[in-house]
Amino acid sequence: MRVTPELLLRVAREAVQKRVLTEPNLVAAYLTGSLRRKEPFLGGVTDVDIVLVHQERPPQKHETIPLVGGFFLDIVHNARADYDKPKELRLDPWLGPELYDPLPLHTGQQHFFEFIQAGVRDRYHDPENILARAHRNAQNARSLWTELLSQQDTWPRLFQIYLESIWMAANAVAVLTDEPLAERSFLLQFPQRAAAAGKAELATALPALLGANDVEVEALPPCIAAWEKDFLEAASSPQVEPRIATARLGYYKKAFEALVNGETPYSVLWPLLYTWTLAVLALPISRQETWESVCKGMGLIGNAFEQKLQMLDRFLDEIEALLENYTV
Full 3-state SS string of the chain: CCCCHHHHHHHHHHHHHHHHHHCCCEEEEEEEHHHHCCCCCECCECCEEEEEEECCCCCCCEEEEECHHHCEEEEEEEEHHHHCCHHHHCCCCCHHHHHHCCEEEECCCCCHHHHHHHHHHCCCCCHHHHHHHHHHHHHHHHHHHHHHHHCCCCHHHHHHHHHHHHHHHHHHHHCCCCCCCCCCCHHHHHHHHHHHCCCCCHHHHHHHHCCHHHCCHHHHHHHHHHHHHHHHHHHCCCCCCCCCCHHHHHHHHHHHHHHHCCCCHHHHHHHHHHHHHHHHCCCCHHHCHHHHHHHHHCCCCHHHHHHHHHHHHHHHHHHHHHHHHCCC
Instruction: Determine how many CB atoms are found less than 10 A away from the CB of residue 203.
Output: 17
- pLDDT for 113: 85
Q: How confident is the model at residue 2 (pLDDT cuts 50, 70, 90)?
A: confident
Does 109 have pLDDT greater than 80?
A: no
Instruction: Dump pLDDT digits (tens) for 211-256.
Output: 999 999 999 999 999 999 999 999 999 889 999 999 999 999 999 9
In the beta sheet, which residues pair with residue 76? Answer: 51, 62
Report the alpha-carbon distance of residue 161 to residue 144 in Å, rounded.
6
User: Pairing between strand 48-54 and 26-32?
Assistant: antiparallel
Rounded percentage of the chain residues whose pLDDT exceeds 90: 92
Mean pLDDT of the chain: 96
In the beta sheet, which residues pair with residue 51? Answer: 30, 76
Angle 253-255-261 (CA atoms, 0-180°, nearest 5)? 100
Q: What does the pLDDT average to over 305-309? A: 97
Q: Which residues contact 316 (CB under 8 A, 6 or more apart)?
A: 138, 141, 142, 145, 165, 169
